[in-house]
């Protein structure tokens, strides 16, 4: 017979005890949540039984939506510019024996290792002699590529993301460490950061390479109207220099 003075546990007390026991089990599995992680992810996995103050998975986007869009816009633009560039390369191969392949080749001085590109390469891609169409496509899509590049630079400057991209004083040393680590020559753990030194140098270098390609392309596109840029880049002979540096 039950003692009338003894209190029976109600449902709320039982639920609180079960919740406390479950929190203890979660803390043993994943440890207490840090102040940075607490409350950062509202959508929790019910299967793990993690309480609202804990999170098992933290999703952090490395690149903003604008950066991702600008990168994906560059993909078809560069593909089209490569295609139109191949049409220009093909036109240089049209007349065998008449200064053929003098521009697009790999070699040293008068010695040529190989020429860009062999006939079978163009035949496999069904590329015909279309010199007028090649530069037309190339310079048309160049403007979209330039606008996208300008938008990218302005966005990184105005949003403050340039602080994570521009190399700092330790970037060169860190880039060497990253290279040795990727080659398996160094086992030290790399520091956790958004962009390491090698990435900072690469991303910043790509911006300067894109600007150089744009300026040399403009010098070829309008050598008379843009004679100042053409003169600064070496005059009409810029075609030969650009082929070796950017082509």
What is the reported pLDDT for 100? 53
- What is the distance, to the nearest Å, from the Cα of residue 185 to the centroid of all Cα atoms in its chain? 26
Q: Is 115 helix (H, G, I), strand (E, B) or coil?
A: strand
pLDDT tens digits, one per residue of 13-55: 555 555 555 555 545 444 444 444 444 444 444 444 555 555 5
Q: Is 135 helix (H, G, I), strand (E, B) or coil?
A: helix
Burial class (CB in 10 A: 0-12, 13-18, 19+), 238: buried
Q: Is 108 helix (H, G, I), strand (E, B) or coil?
A: strand
User: Is residue 247 very low, low, confident or very high in pLDDT (cuts 50, 70, 90)?
Assistant: very low
Highest mean pLDDT pick, 3-12, 106-115, 131-140, 147-156: 147-156
pLDDT tens digits, one per residue of 63-120: 888 999 999 999 999 999 998 888 887 776 655 545 555 666 777 877 777 777 777 7
Those residues whose C-beta lies under 8 Å from the C-beta of residue 70, and which sit 6 or more positions away, are: 148, 151, 152, 155
Q: What pTM value is reported for the model?
A: 0.61
Closest C-alpha among 55, 66, 23, 62 to residue 157:
66
Range with lowest mean pLDDT among 95-99, 139-143, 151-155, 201-205: 95-99
Paired sense of beta strands 105-108 and 111-115, if any: antiparallel
Check whether 146 has a pLDDT greater than 50: yes
pLDDT tens digits, one per residue of 171-230: 998 899 888 988 888 888 887 788 888 999 999 999 999 999 889 888 888 888 888 888
Query: Which two structure tokens, joined as six digits, stand for 208?
Result: 């300067």
């Amino acid at each position: 017979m039950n003692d009338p003075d003894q209190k029976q546990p109600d449902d709320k007390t039982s639920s609180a005890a079960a919740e406390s026991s479950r929190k203890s089990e979660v803390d043993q599995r994943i440890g207490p949540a840090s102040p940075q992680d607490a409350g950062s992810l509202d959508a929790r996995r019910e299967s793990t039984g993690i309480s609202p103050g804990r999170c098992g998975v933290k999703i952090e986007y490395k690149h903003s939506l604008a950066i991702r869009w600008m990168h994906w816009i560059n993909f078809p633009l560069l593909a089209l510019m490569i295609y139109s560039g191949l049409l220009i390369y093909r036109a240089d191969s049209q007349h065998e024996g008449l200064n053929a392949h003098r521009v697009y080749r790999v070699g040293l001085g008068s010695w040529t290792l190989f020429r860009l590109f062999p006939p079978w390469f163009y035949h496999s891609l069904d590329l015909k002699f279309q010199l007028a169409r090649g530069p037309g496509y190339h310079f048309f899509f160049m403007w979209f590529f330039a606008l996208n590049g300008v938008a990218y630079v302005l966005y990184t400057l105005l949003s403050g993301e340039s602080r994570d991209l521009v190399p700092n004083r330790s970037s060169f040393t860190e880039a060497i460490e990253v290279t040795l680590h990727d080659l398996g020559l160094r086992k030290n753990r790399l520091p956790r950061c958004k962009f390491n030194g090698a990435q900072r140098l690469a991303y910043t270098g790509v911006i300067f390479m894109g600007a150089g390609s744009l300026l040399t392309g403009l010098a070829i596109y309008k050598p008379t109207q843009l004679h100042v840029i053409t003169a600064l880049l070496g005059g009409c002979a810029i075609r030969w220099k650009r082929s070796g540096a950017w082509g």
